[in-house]
């Protein structure tokens, strides 16, 4: 794992905050493939707030439902999550995808609850243009710190559980494609044209996975 001093991290953060639209790092950059450093005060309150604000805007502009700090080149265990675009009823029900108001997580860690899994297509802002089916724990317990320093433990089920697993994995140097069924890998254009049903059954039959 690459070592980053607090000074170098602060310099990276200041550079990102100064940009109007910081680019989202794409697969191939080492920052996405190394565990991020635990946040332990490398940034002061205003710097942390500024970084989280930039991360939230980048997530919304993309658009996406989550963004981890390494996706902006910052090797810290921080992520922002927000899923507030209403979905068609059949999609929301099958995928268990309720609205998920914005929140930020610091040093998150998830633990599966039970053995039940669910499988759906996923995409990633750092692997732009592709989607693949990933089997994930249907329910997880997430432990994290809030930006105010409060310890929180929350349980998530369905799509929110998928989001928190995806973003926490980023902080461990993992990308969804590492866990995906690679036979299901499709371009985003093909997904929109052929496989955007609420479930994955048609894709399974047609793509033989």
Enzyme catalytic residues: 167
Beta bridge partners of 15: none
124 marked as binding residue:
yes
* Distance of alpha carbon 157 from alpha carbon 159, whole angstroms: 7
If you write DSSP's letter for every residue of 134-159 in order, what string do you get?
EEEESEEEEEEE-TT--EEEEEEESH
* Distance of alpha carbon 49 from alpha carbon 208, whole angstroms: 46
Compute the CA torsion angle 151, 157, 158, 162 (nearest 10 deg).
Answer: 30
14 marked as binding residue:
no
Beta bridge partners of 110: 142
Residue ranges for the known binding site for Fe cation are: 124, 166, 170
């Amino acid at each position: 794992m690459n070592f980053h001093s607090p000074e170098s991290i602060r310099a990276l953060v200041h550079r990102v905050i100064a940009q109007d639209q910081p680019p989202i790092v794409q697969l191939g950059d080492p920052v996405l493939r190394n565990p991020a450093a635990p946040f332990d005060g490398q940034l002061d309150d205003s710097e942390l707030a500024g970084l989280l604000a930039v991360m939230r805007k980048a997530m919304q502009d993309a658009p996406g439902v989550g963004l981890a700090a390494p996706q902006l080149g910052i090797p810290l265990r921080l992520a922002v999550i927000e899923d507030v675009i209403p979905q068609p009823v059949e999609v929301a029900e099958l995928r268990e995808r309720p609205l998920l108001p914005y929140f930020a997580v610091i040093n998150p860690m998830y633990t599966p609850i039970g053995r039940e899994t669910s499988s759906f297509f996923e995409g990633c802002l750092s692997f732009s243009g592709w989607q693949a089916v990933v089997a994930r724990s249907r329910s997880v317990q997430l432990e994290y710190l809030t930006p105010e320093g409060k310890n929180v433990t929350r349980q998530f089920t369905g799509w929110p559980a998928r989001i928190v697993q995806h973003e926490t994995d980023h902080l461990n140097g993992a990308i969804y494609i590492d866990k995906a069924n690679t036979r299901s890998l499709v371009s985003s254009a093909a997904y929109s044209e052929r496989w955007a049903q609420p479930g994955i059954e048609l894709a399974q039959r047609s793509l033989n996975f």
